[in-house]
Amino acid sequence: MRISSLVIWAPITLMMCACSNSQPTAPAAKPTEGAPAAQIHGNLSQVMRGILFPNSNVIFAGKNANPADLKPDKDPSTATDPLLSTYGGWTAVENSGIALAEAANLLTIPGRKCSNGHDAPITNPDWPQLVQGLRDAGMKAYEAGKSKNMDKLVDAADTMTTACANCHEKYRDKPGGDAARCM
């Protein structure tokens, strides 16, 4: 009888442990000796257009329509609009918030170039706080998505607008032509 109890409870215990959603919160990982260094594959404009622009648009679109009210695309697995895809609605808001917060890290990798060939301004004194503004906006959007709260989403979109404008005013929309700007 004792063996049959073990046979029944051991798999259940293992399954409960494996399905647990709790993840330890650890400080940011530090590179270890022998770990590969971060690699740059795109210029700042490509990162903006490929990651930041589409994900911020998910947040901005949420100001106009409750993500819960959006109907999935006819074939959500091939939908090009994240809000209408398999991971659409509020999940898309969460995912875009995380993508924006994580992409902030990409803006701090040494060696990144602007599309005009100049070094990205990562060593400028204001750059860390501009990047932190993006990170904060992303996390605010993530929290809004988790809470499924429209007021929080509108607030997150406003925070995103401010974060984008702060950086764009200084670096993208700078007068003086291509040589004075960075994208």
Reported as a single tens digit per residue, the pLDDT across 168-180 is: 988 887 666 555 6
DSSP 159: H
* pLDDT tens digits, 110-133: 999 999 899 999 999 999 999 999
Specify the pLDDT at position 82: 93
Closest CA to 181 of 10, 23, 83, 48: 48
Q: Answer with the residue of higher pLDDT: 166 or 7.
A: 166
Residues comprising the chain, all counted: 183
Tell me the domain boundaries of the chain. 41-180
Between 111 and 183, the higher pLDDT residue = 111
Residues 6+ apart with CB under 8 A from 99: 51, 55, 138
pLDDT, mean of residues 99-109:
96
Q: Are 54 and 82 in contact (CB under 8 A)?
A: yes
For the four alpha carbons of 169, 64, 92 and 98, in that order, the dihedral sign comes to positive
Query: How confident is the model at residue 36, as a pLDDT?
Result: 84
Which position has the higher pLDDT, 28 or 155? 155
Confidence tier at 11 by pLDDT (50, 70, 90):
very low
* CATH code for the domain defined by 41-180: 1.20.120
What pTM was computed for the model? 0.78
Q: Residue 73's closest CA among 64, 61, 86, 62? A: 86
